Amino acid sequence: MKYYKYIIGLIIAATTLLSCSDSNEKADGYGNFEATEITVSAENTGKLIQFEVSEGDQLMRDQFIGYIDTIPLALKREQLEVSKAVISSKSKGVLSQINVLNAQLKTANTNKERTENLIKDNAGTQKQLDDIQGEINVIKNQIRSVEIQNAPVVNELKSIDVQLKQIDDQIQKSKIINPINGTVLTKYIEPNEITVFGKPLYKIADLSIMQLRVYISETQLANLKIGQEVTIKIDDADTMKSYEGKICWIASEAEFTPKIIQTKEERVALVYAVKVDVVNDGGLKIGMPAEMWLLPPTLSKETNH
């Protein structure tokens, strides 16, 4: 009988120790990994001629991905060039006069800069500078006079120049240029499909450094600071895999615990969001759950040294 009581006592003691151990070995925060995702959209409308993108591809910043058909834009540009040439030929005298005056204005501005430098070196006079400024004002007035007298022709030519610039901008935006270094997460369109302005083409994110968003209580807040090193753990087969992390952001305002993190009872509590940067070795994925463990004070000091 004494033997059985002894065994029961041992079982109770072991259970107590295990329960204490479990309560002590509790993570300081729980959350999920996330990354800044960018959706690249079409900046023009037309047929997608070339589109060299596949899900999982590693793309570089400013890498050329493909382009949207530019033939209609090129034809429109050619038509505007012809119209500009016709108008220019009809008003050759006006344009040549403006060109001569602009050349004179350029020379006068150069002389003004030289005179200003001479005055700084005490080799010129203020009268010389005033005379040149007067000459510049006269030339500008002459240009305005010619433009007013031939306003219809000048305005039409200016309008065509603006349209040409707009078409050049549209042609440039027909090129699909990747904005960041990252991994293609989702592909929304295939080559030879018709796309429109603003239509998503693909989604990309930089997965080299993942961010773990965890939630902590107000009592834990005093133990955290930006740049602090922490340990991040994820499930790995029968054990936990550890990563080094560094706190990069702490929320300034409290919020209710998100539904995906805690039980219904715990969701009523106010918590603070914290983001931790973690270098990705390829094993971390968006949405993956993880735990944050604060390093002991002695360990964190040794790490900093």
Identify the CATH number of the domain in which residue 192 sits.
2.40.50.100
Query: Given 3-state DSSP classes, what are the helix, strand and coil percentages for the chain, each rounded to the nearest 5?
Result: 45, 30, 30
Q: Which long-range contacts (CB under 8 A, 24 or more apart) does 241-249 make?
A: 241/283, 243/278, 243/279, 243/281, 243/284, 244/278, 244/279, 245/212, 245/276, 245/277, 245/278, 245/292, 246/276, 246/277, 247/274, 247/275, 247/276, 247/277, 248/211, 248/275, 248/276, 248/277, 249/274, 249/275
Same domain assignment for residues 271 and 200: no
Residue 17 lies in a domain: no
Residue 30 lies in a domain: no
Residue 31 lies in a domain: no
DSSP assignment, residue 282? S
Same domain assignment for residues 237 and 92: no
Same domain assignment for residues 126 and 258: no
Instruction: Classify residue 36 by burial, with Cβ atoms within 10 Å: 0-12, 13-18, 19+.
Output: exposed
Domain count of the fold of the chain: 3
Residue 258 has a CB neighbour count (10 Å cut-off) of 14
Q: Which amino acid is at 38?
A: I
Residue 16 lies in a domain: no
Report the alpha-carbon distance of residue 268 to residue 256 in Å, rounded: 6
Q: Which of 173, 193, 225 is the last residue before a domain boundary?
A: 173
Same domain assignment for residues 46 and 92: no
- Can you read off the two tokens belonging to residue 49? 């001629």
Integer-rounded Cα Rg, in Å, for the chain is: 35
DSSP assignment, residue 60? -
Same domain assignment for residues 280 and 150: no
Same domain assignment for residues 165 and 192: no
Residue 221 confidence (pLDDT):
87
* Grouped pLDDT means (10 residues each) for the chain, 305 residues: 43 40 67 95 96 95 96 96 85 77 93 90 88 93 82 84 96 96 96 96 96 90 91 87 94 74 57 94 93 70 44
Residue 260 confidence (pLDDT):
54
Residue 67 has a CB neighbour count (10 Å cut-off) of 18
> β-strand 46-51 against 194-195: which pairing, if any?
antiparallel
Same domain assignment for residues 60 and 112: no
Same domain assignment for residues 153 and 295: no
Same domain assignment for residues 186 and 154: no
Same domain assignment for residues 217 and 80: no
Residue 269 confidence (pLDDT):
72
Residue 29 lies in a domain: no
DSSP state letters, 127-195:
HHHHHHHHHHHHHHHHHHHHHHHTHHHHHHHHHHHHHHHHHHHHHHHTEEE--SSEEEEEE---TT-EE
Sequence-separated (6 or more) residues with CB below 8 Å from residue 94: 146, 150, 153, 154
Residue 266 confidence (pLDDT):
55
Residue 8 lies in a domain: no
Report the alpha-carbon distance of residue 162 to residue 83 in Å, rounded: 13
Distance of CA 218 to the CA centre of its chain: 32
Same domain assignment for residues 49 and 183: yes
Query: CATH code at 226?
Result: 2.40.30.170
Residue 106 lies in a domain: yes
Residue 280 lies in a domain: yes
The residue range of the domain holding 138 is: 71-173
Residue 179 confidence (pLDDT):
96
Residue 257 confidence (pLDDT):
65
Report the alpha-carbon distance of residue 239 to residue 260 in Å, rounded: 23
- Can you read off the two tokens belonging to residue 30? 């729980």
Same domain assignment for residues 168 and 249: no
